[in-house]
Copies of this chain bind each other. A is one copy, B any other.
């Protein structure tokens, strides 16, 4: 009866990022994990593979990298492929399950090089991660023309109420510098 077009959304990483994800790694603490994520954002800008945002999901107890994401809106032609969504989708694909919170897996945490937009905050809420750690403030993204959507203190409170620990402003200046570098290079503001 049906010819279902059977669309799929590619979640492919740029080659340089795939090589990073393919290398087993553990990042010991918050600073190491955030440095890794800011480096993703920086390479995404410098190689021209996307916007100035990176994210990664780590096993909380031992810092093992589960999956990473980089802003891929233009590269993969999807307005939903912000770095956080990219990392969540790759993590769920890797585990073959719709949520990252289950008795038989470790707790997972998401590191983001910039505070998430409204969509990503909601996506994080449903993802099953137990902790969110952010670097640059939303204001840094807004300052170069990106829209962040309806996000306020109550948005973060909601995550906390759902049992997700939230930590903000970890290495914020380094992450903001990457965002400013993108603007200086004339990077596309795809949803201003």
Contact = CB atoms under 8 A, between A and B. Distances in A.
Interface of A: 1-13, 15, 18-19, 21-22, 73-74, 76-80, 85, 88-90, 92-94, 96-99, 117-123, 125-128, 147, 149-150, 152, 154-155, 157-158, 162, 190-191
A80 B126 contact: yes
Nearest to A119: B122
Top 4 closest pairs, chain A to chain B, by CB: A119-B122, A4-B18, A118-B122, A150-B158
12 contacts: A1-B19, A4-B22, A6-B10, A7-B90, A8-B10, A80-B80, A80-B88, A121-B149, A122-B122, A122-B150, A126-B149, A149-B158
Given A9-B89, A78-B93, 13 more contacts: A3-B18, A4-B12, A4-B18, A5-B18, A7-B11, A7-B94, A8-B11, A9-B93, A79-B123, A80-B85, A119-B120, A119-B126, A150-B157
